[in-house]
Amino acid sequence: MTALPLNPHLPLGDQRTAPWYGKDILSVRQFTHDDLKFLFGVAHEMRVMVERVGTFDLLKGKILASLFYEPSTRTSSSFTAAMERLGGSVIPISEVKYSSVSKGESLPDTVRSLECYADVIVLRHPEIGSAALAAKYARKPIINAGDGVGEHPTQALLDLFTILEELGKVDGLTITMLGDLKYGRTVHSLSRLLSLYNVKLNFVSPDILKMPADILEELQAKGVPFSQHTTLDAVLPETDVLYVTRVQKERFENPEIYEAHKNTYVINPGVMRPAKEKMIVMHPLPRVTEIGIEFDEDPRAAYFRQMEYGLYVRMALLALVLGKA
Ligand code: NCD
């Protein structure tokens, strides 16, 4: 895997001292192991600073355009919070129906407009490859906040940071992903990112919601041990990280198929009895019925802490692409 590519718009000197400066964040495939170590070091510093002073002026005067064509609570608000905690500001466009998009404006044109006013653009869009398309036209960095069923790289980065902060390591762990592995973009990105580590992966899903074949091939090519299952029982006792996902209702063409599979797995205190005492349960959220609220008080339930780690990772990403970390 190669390091982040050079940006033709920037002087070479800047790229040597600040290798992330001006870069797009489109896919987890662009990162090396060393990139992640560096990012998580900065994210950890962000955590310390937020705990110490709350808000500081690293990105004072910088503007983020937050362009969401699909619903979001955590991703959009954590990018806003990240920007504001660093002293910057945000142009929020989450109701694209009130923007020129509803007049038929293309994504490249919308992005080319917003970059006249902003220094960085965070984009969520229902189509695979939309972030890469936007980046092709934009001079300012594009951060992919979810491109349909494709990738969600910043979520995978915060997921990995959560594992590191909670369990102290990634190498040697057994990670089980559960639920909708076909349409869940977070597990696509996370599996790819975990292939940089020495881990064992278990994929548990109904047959029709299995991890896509191209991702399994990538894992195979990298020699990552993985196995596929339709029930959790056999793999739960060995699991260090149980990553639960929502069945992605909005991706199903036939609502009956969604209805038939939405409650296949439900995590609750009873189901979790055979699990290790020292392990964590994660979820990118929102959850619907796949984790019962009775489990929330369990110390292994890491999904609310996971959201907070997201703030620090997104602060680090913004500071890095804007050349300030
Ligand atoms: C996820 C997403 O949008 O892909 N949510 C998030 O960003 N935290 C997962 C989901 O919607 O189920």
Average pLDDT over residues 16-29: 88
CA nearest neighbour of 151 among 191, 186, 107, 195:
186
**Strands 89-93 and 63-68, sheet pairing:** parallel
**pTM, whole model, 2 decimals?**
0.94
109 assigned to some structural domain: yes
Average pLDDT over residues 292-298: 98
20 assigned to some structural domain: no
22 assigned to some structural domain: no
Indicate if ligand 1 lies below 6 Å from the C-beta of 185. Answer: yes
* Same domain for 227 and 135: no
Tell which atom from ligand 1 comes closest to the C-alpha of 184.
Answer: 4
CA distance 297 to 67: 35
| DSSP state at residue 291 | B
Indicate if ligand 1 lies below 6 Å from the C-beta of 153. Answer: no
pLDDT tens-digit series, residues 214-254:
999 999 999 999 999 999 999 999 999 999 999 999 999 99
Query: What tokens were used for 263?
Result: 């409650």
Would the pLDDT of 2 be above 50? no
Query: What tokens were used for 67?
Result: 């362009």
Query: What tokens were used for 300?
Result: 């292994």
* Same domain for 276 and 215: yes
Would the pLDDT of 32 be above 90? yes
101 assigned to some structural domain: yes
* Same domain for 177 and 143: no
Query: What tokens were used for 4?
Result: 């982040």
Residue with the nearest Cα to atom 1 of ligand 1? 284
CATH number for the domain spanning 64: value is 3.40.50.1370
CA distance 19 to 4: 7
Distance 149 CA to ligand 1 centre (A): 10
* Same domain for 163 and 51: no
* Same domain for 303 and 158: yes
* Same domain for 174 and 146: no
* Same domain for 144 and 166: no
* Same domain for 300 and 211: yes
9 assigned to some structural domain: no
- What range defines the domain where residue 182 resides? 153-307
Distance 103 CA to ligand 1 centre (A): 27
Average pLDDT over residues 1-28: 70
Distance 179 CA to ligand 1 centre (A): 13
Q: What is the mean pLDDT of the chain?
A: 94
3-state secondary structure 68-135: ECCCCCHHHHHHHHHHHHCCCEEEEECCHHHCHHHHCCCHHHHHHHHCCCCCEEEEEECCCCHHHHHH
Residue 10: per-residue pLDDT:
57
* Same domain for 159 and 113: no
Residues constituting the chain? 325
CA nearest neighbour of 28 among 212, 205, 152:
152
* Same domain for 169 and 131: no
Indicate if ligand 1 lies below 6 Å from the C-beta of 306. Answer: no
* Same domain for 170 and 77: no
CA distance 281 to 218: 25
82 assigned to some structural domain: yes
Indicate if ligand 1 lies below 6 Å from the C-beta of 191. Answer: no
Distance 191 CA to ligand 1 centre (A): 15
142 assigned to some structural domain: yes
Give me the DSSP letters along 18-68.
-TTTT--B--GGG--HHHHHHHHHHHHHHHHHHHHHS---TTTT-EEEEEE
Distance 284 CA to ligand 1 centre (A): 6
* Same domain for 186 and 98: no
Domains in the chain, number = 2
59 assigned to some structural domain: yes
